[in-house]
Each structure stands twice: as structure tokens, then as C-alpha cells.
Structure 1
């Protein structure tokens, strides 16, 4: 994955727009990943699903907690991608009280599929979801890659978390190039 450009994908997001008025003042907005990440250094981590235990209790809160440390290493933004729709991602962000980590809905799983990380969790009633991975992207090129072991294993369901923890990424970013 290292030195590969990210896929050219557009995600469907919802953006608050007070000019719409009413109880749900949000409009649809296309989020073109390559346009948004052009000329920037960003951290992107992906997880199986909003409101799931490890994602909600550890992974997303840990990236939020360490956001300022990422900024110290020249990271412009930290994004979380999940195969969930924009409505679920918005409510999850509110529930977690996120202020810094930006949530990106990959509702159709297109980005995740093109990253080679789309897995079938139908046996749990989840359908297609993302495997847990993280990366540093510099001007649309992957410079650091992390994924949890076991993506190709069969049998018992696994949901490891460790290799994609923000501390791992920060440890590598601290090391001189």
C-alpha cells in the first residue's frame, strides 16, 4: 500500500446549513477525497462500524484524545471512515462528543472496496463492512500503512485492535525519516 495513491472516490456527506431552516437543516454534499486531501498530510483510520464496542470505546476516542499530538507532526486532519451512512455517522459523532476527528461515511463501501478492505460480516448481521486499518496520506499518496492481522483468516469472527491504534502511528511519526 505504501506509495500508492488513494482511490479517486466521492463520498456522500451531510453538511449543516442553517439557511435551510427547520428541524433538520442539513444538505447533501459530495466529499471528493482527492480534492480534500490534495496538498495535505492526513491520518485516515477505518473501522467496522459506528456504535460498535471497540470502535466507540477505544479506537475513535483514542484518535480524538491524541489529535493535537498528530498536529505536532504536521498532520492537517484526522479522519475516520466507516461503511455507514451519513446519518449514522453524524449521530455517532454527536454521541461520542467528537470535536476534532472528522467522520466520513462510506455508505456504499466504494472507498473501502477500492482499498481492498471490504469484508463480509453477514454472519453477524452487519453485511459488508471495513476491516480495521489506518494510514498516513501525504498529498494523496499513502506514506504509512497499518492493518490488523487476520483479514484473510477464516472461521471464528475476529475484531482485533492494536496495530491501528493512534499510538502506533504516532510512534512511527516521531521517528526521523
Structure 2
């Protein structure tokens, strides 16, 4: 594929026990290089936190298969969505996600530069990420599994090629 991930800064929250507050987190900017540089990464990108397919199937599928994915040499699995860090944290907490790392693309900048930012105004969502997954090594996109029908205000929510099983099949073929 030979395409690099976009160069952006993600606004994340990290636990910091030195923060004297009932919510001991602080803001931490993470660059694309911080996340992807020198690493073997799988990303699943979803339309939104707390939405039915994302919450019921897509994200739990990666959480449940993370050991098999990591057994293929993957360092980390990230879930990206056009949501803020607070929503991503609460979503993971509600679903019991402990192994997949949550990556907030709050302004949709990464999704836009990937060519995957779509309007979902027909659902009242505004701008969101199209559903896809990708395998990235040292910032180089090795494989991208985007759901068919990429378009603004898609009347459906296609889900069939960005799932954990597809990613595992790809990795098992020696990616």
C-alpha cells in the first residue's frame, strides 16, 4: 500500500496520581509518531462511542481477539473514533475494554486526512469516521479494510470487512 498515516496530534487523557483531584487525569498530546513510530499497530476506526454496532460487535471483537492479534507481532491495537477523550474513556469503561487502547480523534483531523471523515447528519451525528481497520508498521499503512459504500449520510452502517476476524485472516497470511 505504501501510504503513511497522517501527521496529527491526538488530545488524550492519562492517569496521573500526582494530580490532586477526584479525577486524577491530565491532558497529554500524543503525536502520530508517538503512536505509530517504530511499532506494529492495528487500528479499528468506528463511527461513534456507544453506538450499537461499534459497542455490540466491532470493538468487543477486537478486545476478545487481542491475544491472537498480538501473537502475530502486533504491539498494540487502537480504537479510533471522532469522539473526545472523556467519551472514549467512559465508553471503554462501560464495555469493560481493558486491552484495546482508545484513541480520541475529537476534531476528526486524523479521519479527514485519511479520507475517511464522512457526514452522518442523517443520524444527527455530524462528522464521523467511516468504519475501517488498518495494519500499520512504523507509520506505513500495510493494509486497509474499509467498509464498502464510503459516502456522506450513508443510509446503512456496513460492517463486514473491518472486523477482527478479517484482520486475523490477513495477519495469519503472513502480513
Question: Shorter chain as normaliser: what TM range?
Answer: over 0.9
Q: Could you say which residue in structure 2 is the equivalent of 1:99?
A: 98
Structure-to-structure mapping, 1:1-177, within 5 angstroms: 2-152=1-151, 157-176=155-174
Counterpart of 1:59 in 2: which secondary structure? helix
Q: Tell me, in whole angstroms, the C-alpha distance in 2 between the residues paired with 1:137 and 1:83.
A: 19
- CA change 1:66–1:155 in 2 (3 A) is closer
TM-score (normalizing by structure 2): 0.96
Tell me if the contact between 1:6 and 1:34 (Cα under 8 Å) persists in the aligned partners: no
> RMSD value over aligned CA atoms?
1.2
- CA change 1:156–1:118 in 2 (3 A) is closer
Counterpart of 1:18 in 2: which secondary structure? coil
Question: Where does structure 1 lack aligned partners over 5 or more consecutive residues?
Answer: none
Cα shift at 1:176:
3.4
Counterpart of 2:170 in 1: which secondary structure? helix
Q: After TM superposition, which residue ranges in structure 1, 4 or more long, deviate above 4 angstroms?
A: none
Cα shift at 1:175:
1.1
Task: Kindly provide the CA deviation profile for residues 89-111 of structure 1, in whole angstroms up to 9, marking residues without a partner as x.
Answer: 01001001111100000000000
Q: Tell me, in whole angstroms, the C-alpha distance in 2 between the residues paired with 1:34 and 1:96.
A: 28
Counterpart of 1:22 in 2: which secondary structure? coil
Cα shift at 1:122:
1.2
| Number of equivalences | 175
Counterpart of 2:99 in 1: which secondary structure? coil
TM-score (normalizing by structure 1): 0.95
Tell me if the contact between 1:78 and 1:101 (Cα under 8 Å) persists in the aligned partners: yes
Tell me if the contact between 1:150 and 1:158 (Cα under 8 Å) persists in the aligned partners: no
Q: Tell me, in whole angstroms, the C-alpha distance in 2 between the residues paired with 1:31 and 1:19.
A: 20
Q: Tell me, in whole angstroms, the C-alpha distance in 2 between the residues paired with 1:144 and 1:170.
A: 12
Tell me if the contact between 1:46 and 1:134 (Cα under 8 Å) persists in the aligned partners: yes
Counterpart of 2:3 in 1: which secondary structure? coil
